[in-house]
Amino acid sequence: MIDPDKVAAHLDRLAKPKGSLGRLEDLAVRLGSIQGTLKPETKPRRLIVFAGDHGVVADGVGIWPQAVTGVMVAMIAAGRASCSALARACDASVRLIDVGSAMGEVPSSPLYCDRRVGRGTLSLAQGPAMTADQFWAAWMAGQTAVAEARADGMRIVVLGEIGIGNTTAAAALIALGCEHDSDALVGAGAGATAETLDRKRTIVREAVARARDVMADDPVAAMAAVAGFEIVAMAGAIAAAGDADLPVVLDGVVSGAAAIVAQAVDPAALETAIASHVSAEPAHRIALESLGLEPYLDWGLRLGEGTGALLMLPMLDAAAALLKDVATLDEVTGGGGG
């Protein structure tokens, strides 16, 4: 990392009106300061998708059955999911880390890694979703995925997730972490009827109330009680990227919840995090505000899989090009300038 002001000062030396590229300049400052250089590199980069299942799905919080997680895992492993298409378009490789799906037969694909710490969480409606041991195992799986990305020379990582039911866990985590009324944070996720939405609200409200009782004494236990394996793994990945001065691009509400978990475990975890978009889920905006992250896109995205985060990659390419390829005023005026 270097002082963001150093990068901003370089932008101010370019032959263009100061500040005239608005948020693209913010992005350039963020990228340059994280990588510690005025010549940041944005390739190669990798999308890491974490997968996990949620016991709470059996309690009727959405319209999709748990088996859909496995279908989506198979689609990503086969390179045919939405994130696969966008990753190709944005020149990112894909790695799918299964930290807790309930699938039977897993895909045989070089993209897929079976690192399950459980076969789905227990239902957060009935009690703690996972043990502390499982929490740390999932966290480590996230850290390992980032270590592998670094070893493979990645300059940026992009995080995504797949897990039917995980907007329920995300809403609970954000309500818990931001000390916000949970009812207002529960949205439709990938699909809900009025009935399932109502049930989702009740379940989240009660689970958050139970978790709040232990939050002060044992925040990890409190968060583990309402989290998901893929969310905790994503939190570990965010913290690992922060440790390694590696830019990490966040996606929607589930990665917002993961950022809340990461910051609770490690207050410096978000040093290299970049918020790509604010999603259609109401909890996401609350989480980003609480984290002090300002999103770049407001496109009503709510798919997950890292799809929104991938869209930031070409913007980061543009930000890097701005720093590296534009003439300075000195060059244009033949020296002696500002």
Q: Which residues bind a copy of itself (CB under 8 A)?
A: 14-17, 20-24, 71, 75, 78, 80-82, 84-86, 88-90, 190-191, 280, 296-303, 307, 310-311, 313-315, 317-318, 320-322, 324-327, 331-332
**Beta carbon nearer to a copy of itself, 77 or 215:** 77
| Paired strand residues for 274 | 249
**Beta carbon nearer to a copy of itself, 76 or 176:** 76
- Out of 25, 179, 305, 331, the active site residue is 305
> Minimum Å distance from CB 66 to a copy of itself?
16
> Minimum Å distance from CB 48 to a copy of itself?
19
By CB atoms closer than 10 A (0-12, 13-18, 19+), residue 122 is middle
305 is catalytic: yes
Tokens of 110: 């070089």
Tokens of 63: 């319209």
**Beta carbon nearer to a copy of itself, 145 or 190:** 190
CA distance 149 to 232: 18
**Beta carbon nearer to a copy of itself, 82 or 93:** 82
Cα distances (Å, whole numbers) of residue 169 to 54, 196, 207? 8, 15, 10
- Helix intervals (H) in the chain: 4-13, 22-35, 67-77, 82-89, 132-151, 166-178, 194-215, 219-226, 229-243, 253-265, 282-291, 307-310, 312-325, 329-333
Contact 239, 271 (CB under 8 A): no
CA distance 125 to 138: 21
H-run or E-run covering 45: strand 45-52
> Minimum Å distance from CB 148 to a copy of itself?
26
| Paired strand residues for 326 | none
**Beta carbon nearer to a copy of itself, 170 or 178:** 170
Q: Enumerate the active-site residues.
A: 305
